[in-house]
């Protein structure tokens, strides 16, 4: 049986703890991934619950990247206007950066833009 989990879009992230030896690891992992968060497994022989919670909090509160910027080489033929960059990116997140390309010439340019 395939487990499928979908959460509505939200600015919040979900941290999931799998406690015990019989925990469903696939469900814990998929819940955390769907919630753009982190997961921790705590078994009877593993580290303490306090250590696991502190690790999850550290991961949840520490961005992987901050103060992002985007720069491209200037061109005579076009101008790129980026609409908005995220202020921070956290572990496991992905972002799509959108913008507008404005041609400075009346003909269609023969250049392709890749970033």
Span 63-102, pLDDT tens digits: 888 888 877 777 777 777 777 888 888 776 777 787 777 7
* Residue 5 is assigned to a structural domain of this protein: no
pLDDT digits (tens, 9 = 90+) for 14-56: 888 888 888 899 999 988 888 877 888 887 765 677 887 888 7
- Give the Å distances, CA to CA, from 84 to 61, 77, 88: 22, 23, 12
Do residues 52 and 75 share a domain?
no
* Residue 8 is assigned to a structural domain of this protein: no
pLDDT reported for residue 108: 59
Do residues 67 and 102 share a domain?
yes
Range of the domain at 31: 16-62
Do residues 56 and 67 share a domain?
no
Backbone torsion region of residue 67, taken as left when φ is above 0, otherwise alpha when ψ lies between -120 and 50, otherwise beta: left
What whole-number distance in Å separates Cα of residue 27 and Cα of residue 33? 10
Do residues 25 and 35 share a domain?
yes
Output the six-digit token pair for 16.
Answer: 């999931």
* Residue 2 is assigned to a structural domain of this protein: no
* Residue 115 is assigned to a structural domain of this protein: no
* Residue 4 is assigned to a structural domain of this protein: no
Q: Do 59 and 93 touch, CB atoms closer than 8 A? A: no
* Residue 68 is assigned to a structural domain of this protein: yes
Count structural domains, the chain: 2
* Residue 11 is assigned to a structural domain of this protein: no
Strand partners, 65: 89
């Amino acid at each position: 049986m395939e487990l499928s989990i979908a959460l509505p879009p939200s600015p919040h992230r979900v941290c999931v703890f799998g406690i015990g030896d019989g925990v469903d690891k696939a469900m814990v992992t998929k819940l955390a991934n769907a919630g753009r968060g982190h997961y921790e497994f705590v078994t009877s022989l593993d580290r303490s619950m306090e250590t696991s919670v502190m690790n999850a909090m550290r991961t949840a509160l520490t961005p992987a990247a901050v103060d992002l910027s985007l720069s491209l080489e200037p061109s005579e033929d076009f101008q790129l206007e980026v609409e908005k960059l995220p202020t921070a990116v956290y572990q496991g997140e992905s972002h799509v950066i959108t913008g507008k390309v404005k041609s400075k010439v009346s003909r269609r340019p023969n250049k392709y833009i890749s970033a």
